[in-house]
Chain A
């Protein structure tokens, strides 16, 4: 069985790749394209570590096949900073020490950016529900929530 030839846009760049039917978008990102910022946690859609956006919709890349990504626009953690300039969410995660081991962090950042794009002024509860699909076994979430609220305030110019 020949591989599928897929053309996508990843973080604004047109990207071609070859994949087997069974390869997930997560497999393609990490193993074929070496975009290893997206992490594999559970590989069954429970932990959110592999979160990316697909045509602007937050998804688990472990629950999308590479072959389903044809013609789609994908945003990963690698597209978040502007060169050396961190995104406000990234900077606030550092300032608030919103991570320990770091495996969940790229997924949390992608999910938080997606949340703020829809709701620039979320309540604490909305942040907690908005990030409920991202598991973190280190922080207890408090610093994550504070970092997102602080970043949201800064991004609103408050």
Chain B
């Protein structure tokens, strides 16, 4: 097995494209190394993308936040302004593995590993995160919900890598939250995860909402029908009832050792209600700043 650590995106793409499917991009390695250890994958070439300066940056620009694909969970957790600007995204990031795992693991890896239960993914989708993908044919920007297509599979083609994420500057009076259910509080895989972002107008009416569900389908789902139940309301009890029903209705989960279909469908509604309440409170307190 060969190891290369290029210092430019172009060099990384060339290496990955030359590997003809037997090359793997290596960011934090917290999934790739485990899959190698368990003989799930046997790559001939590892392309370490951590030495590419562009991929290591967290930047606040006029249009919003940009952060690179090799930025670790701990680096985001230590970035106070990012954390206070995007608490909903950080709810998800802080649940990835353990502190040790987050010391290496990247959000881009969490997205590209394409587990339907990945904690940062519904949070990013709710926040409207856009990913920049670079490949042999240039760069393209796609919403995060278009990356995962099924367990372990993404829409990226051979030679492509995720370069960075973009989170557009939040509207005033906006808030987000991610909640998951797990039997243990730490070091567990989501039975259901729900990410919600919403925006209020000056009268407290919800003008914009995004609702994303994890671990209830083959990929994380953006559920427009659920978001529609909040828009035009004060996110009050009747709206939350409608939200819970719409979230449950969107689920198409499997039965497994972590939960039955029926259980996941029920819990998705309960968590959606709670996540919306947290997002609402954050939107109200953001408005007071």
A144 within 8 A of B: no
Task: Evaluate whether A65 and B100 lie within 8 angstroms (CB atoms) in the complex, with A21-B3, A22-B36 already known.
Answer: no
* A10 interface residue (CB < 8 Å to B): no
A131 to chain B, nearest CB (A): 9
Measured in the bound complex, the distance between the Cα atoms of B276 and A38 in whole Å is 44
B149 at the interface (CB under 8 A from A): no
**Is the CB–CB distance between A45 and B97 below 8 Å?**
yes
Determine the interface band of chain A, counting residues with CB < 8 A from chain B: 20 to 34
Q: How far is the CA of A65 from the CA of B36 in the complex (A)?
A: 11
A106 within 8 A of B: no
Please tell me if B98 contacts chain A, counting CB pairs below 8 Å.
yes
Instruction: Output the residue of A1, A44, A63 with the most chain B CB within 10 A.
Output: A63
- If the complex has contacts A21-B2, A44-B38, A45-B34, are A68 and B48 also in contact, measured as CB distance less than 8 A? yes
A21-B1, A21-B46, A46-B187 are known contacts. Are A54 and B103 too (CB-CB below 8 A)?
Answer: yes
Interface mask (A38-52 → B, CB under 8 Å = 1, otherwise 0): 000001111010010
With A24-B33, A43-B37 in contact, is A57–B2 under 8 Å at CB?
no
B186 on the A face (CB < 8 A): yes
Are A22's CB and B1's CB within 8 A? yes
Given contacts A21-B46, A22-B36, A44-B34, contact A133 B2 (CB under 8 A): no
Output the least CB separation between B217 and chain A (Å): 26
Cβ contacts under 8 Å, B100 to chain A? 45, 48, 51, 58-60, 63, 111, 133
Give the number of residue pairs across the A-B interface with Cβ within 8 Å: 79
At the interface, yes or no: A88 with Cβ under 8 Å from chain B?
no
Question: Complex formed: what's the CA distance from A51 to B3 in Å?
Answer: 24
Beta-carbon contact of B104 and A59 below 8 Å: yes
Give the total of B residues in contact with A, Cβ under 8 Å. Answer: 27
- B residues less than 8 Å from A21 (CB atoms): 1-3, 46
A62 at the interface (CB under 8 A from B): yes
- What distance in Å separates the Cβ of A32 from its nearest Cβ neighbour in chain B? 16
B286 close to A (CB within 8 Å): no
Near B by CB (< 8 A), chain A positions 123-146 give 129-130, 132-134
In the complex, chain B residues 75-103 whose Cβ is within 8 Å of any chain A Cβ: 97-101, 103
- Cβ of B248 < 8 Å from any Cβ of A? no
Taking CB atoms and an 8 Å cut-off, the chain B residues in 25-81 that contact chain A are: 26, 28-30, 33-34, 36-38, 46, 48, 50, 72, 74
Q: Is A64 positioned at the interface, with any CB of B under 8 Å from its CB?
A: yes
User: Among B74, B99, B185, which residue has its beta carbon within 8 angstroms of that of A130?
Assistant: B99
Question: In the complex, which of the residues A51, A62, A133 contacts B187, with contact meaning CB atoms closer than 8 Å?
Answer: A133
Task: Report yes or no: A68 in contact with B29, Cβ–Cβ below 8 A.
Answer: yes
Q: How far, in angstroms, from A1 to B4 measured CA to CA in the complex?
A: 13
Contact partners of A54 in chain B: CB under 8 A? 103
Nearest-CB residue, chain A, relative to B74: A57
Contact among A20, A57, A58, A63 for B33, CB-based, below 8 A: A63
- Chain B residues whose C-beta falls within 8 Å of the C-beta of A111 in the assembled complex: 99-100
B 4-21 to A, binary, CB cutoff 8 A, 1 in contact else 0: 000000000000000000
Q: What residues on A are CB-neighbors of B29 within 8 Å?
A: 63-65, 68
Cα separation A57 to B36 with both chains bound (whole Å):
23
A7 smallest CB distance to B (angstroms): 15
Q: A57-B74, A58-B100 are in contact. List 16 more A-B contacts (CB 8 A).
A: A20-B1, A22-B1, A43-B37, A45-B34, A45-B97, A45-B101, A51-B100, A57-B72, A59-B103, A60-B101, A60-B104, A65-B26, A68-B29, A130-B99, A132-B185, A133-B100
* B positions within 8 Å CB-CB of A: 1-3, 26, 28-30, 33-34, 36-38, 46, 48, 50, 72, 74, 97-101, 103-104, 185-187
- Taking Cβ atoms with an 8 Å cutoff, the residues of A that contact B are 1, 4, 20-22, 24, 43-46, 48, 51, 54, 57-60, 62-65, 67-68, 111, 129-130, 132-134
